[in-house]
Structure 1
Amino acid sequence: MEDNTENNIIQMPRIGDQAPEFTAKTTKGDITLSSFAKDKWIVMFSHPADFTPVCTTEMSGFALRKGEFEALNTELLGLSIDSIHAHLGWVNNVRNNTGVYFDFPIIADLDMKVSKLYGMLQPNESETAAVRAVFFIDPKKKVRLIMYYPLNVGRNMDEILRALEALQTSDKYSVAMPLDWKKGDKVIVPPPKTLKEMEERLADDTIERVDFYLAKKELVG
């Protein structure tokens, strides 16, 4: 008999896909993905378990820099395969011990529905704990960038914010970002697509041109 096991596996979302809709219980009440404001970006991130050291540092990092995400018109949404009661106890424990308050919704994904829907369970790493995934979801509810980390390596908050700002800047100005780009750096202008555009590019003295296919400029405004 043919093994259809693979046919029953839900395909994890990829860059450019519509983010899968879901309903979930969180520390801020029941939510759906579509209930987020239509003009907001969402950074959804999973952690393996409450009351664990690496996760505590990461969630504290998101909490401490929540204002920076808000300045980028972005909502935070956490997740782990723990109960609401565990989430609340952990949030309170961290606040009492460090003064850091996780003031954003954390999904209690005990049935693992959201974790499976987003490919946050990696069987060769763990079948019961979500890896450290980060999904960048734009206002049209499309997945724009995905990061995955194993259970034993914490994420880099500077890189998460840098990537978010790069995506938003790229959308706003129709440009691309070079290696190590950060706000204020020059951006890459799209390469020409016709001979006429190539000649115009070669004659343009307002940009930093390495060659016709690689040119940078400063953003104004």
Structure 2
Amino acid sequence: MDTASPTAHPVRLHTQAPDFRARTTHGEVTLSDYRGRWLVLFSHPADFTPVCTSEFMAFAEAEPAFERLDCALLALSIDGLYSHLAWIRDIRERWGVTINFPIIEDPSMAVALGYGMLSADAADSATARMTYVIDPDGIVRAMSWYPMEVGRSVAELLRLVESLQMASHHQVATPEGWQPGAPVLQRVPTDAVSAAAIAPGEGEAWYFRFRPCP
């Protein structure tokens, strides 16, 4: 497995996601294989854990919705490949859920360290509970960090990808709780002349203006 040099610092927003080459349940992949489409990269500290199992099943059931957004799913778990294969087989046999997205093996924690999920002197992999939304240019556009005892909301991650795509494609912003089809916010002017020229509507301000969803 090849990856960026280990770092004690997490990956930052609006920076290039570190490339890597790793073995997965679908064969060898590199992060650059996903250039040209959106990607949700999400990590787990271990296989056969209850919270992670619930998340895997939710991601599997939501995968068609992500695909409609041209967004791929790529998982990472610190355990080895054969553990991954046994885990996804058990999920299929017990609950009838098939995991179709690749799962990276990272027993040396090289990818987790390269992304700054773990400190260089971490005693275990407990903090490898990160989610990254990466755009088609390989730029990290959003991230979240969850503790082991709290499950992520896959529905919220789907909404997040839709919001980022709306903002990117139409140069707008999305308000709290935005859902597809709802009004969006216009970008705030960055110079005094443009700001002074705005005549906001009722209930609006020069820095807070809605427009219909494009």
Deviation at 1:12, TM superposition (A): 2.2
Unaligned runs of 5+ in 1: 1-7
C-alpha distance in 2, partners of 1:51/1:85?
A: 12
Q: Deviations over 1:134-163 (max 9, x none)?
A: 000000001010100001110011111111
- 1:52–1:211: structure 2 CA closer, same or farther, 3 Å change rule? same
1:53 aligns with 2:79: no
Q: CA deviation at 1:126?
A: 5.7
Check conservation: 1:137, 1:144, Cα contact below 8 A. Answer: yes
Take 1:130 and 1:25, find their aligned partners in 2: how far apart are those partners?
21
Aligned: 1:28 with 2:26 = yes
Instruction: Indicate the larger mover: 167-176 or 9-18.
Output: 9-18
Matched, 1:213 2:207: yes
What is the CA-CA distance between 1:15 and the residue it aligns to?
A: 0.1
Alignment pair present for 1:141 and 2:138: yes
Contact residue 122 and residue 130 of structure 1 kept, 8 A: no
Give runs of aligned pairs for residues 121-132 of structure 1, distance below 5 A: 121=118, 127-132=124-129
SS of match in other structure, 1:214? coil
* Distance in 2 (alpha carbons) for counterparts of 1:153 and 1:123: 24
1:9 Cα deviation from its structure 2 partner:
3.8
Instruction: Tell me the residue number matched to 1:16.
Output: 14
Larger Rg, first or second structure (1 or 2)? 1
- Structure-2 separation of matches of 1:190 and 1:128: 40
Please say if residues 146 and 152 of structure 2, whose CA atoms lie closer than 8 Å, have aligned partners that are also in contact: yes
Deviation at 1:130, TM superposition (A): 4.7
| Matched AA of 2:26 | K
Contact 2:7–2:120 (CA<8 Å) still a contact in 1? no
Give the structure 2 partner of residue 89 of structure 1.
86
Separation of aligned partners in 2, 1:188 and 1:14: 25
After TM superposition, list the pairs within 5 Å mapping 1:71-86 onto structure 2: 71-86=68-83
- Displacement of 1:96 in angstroms is 0.5
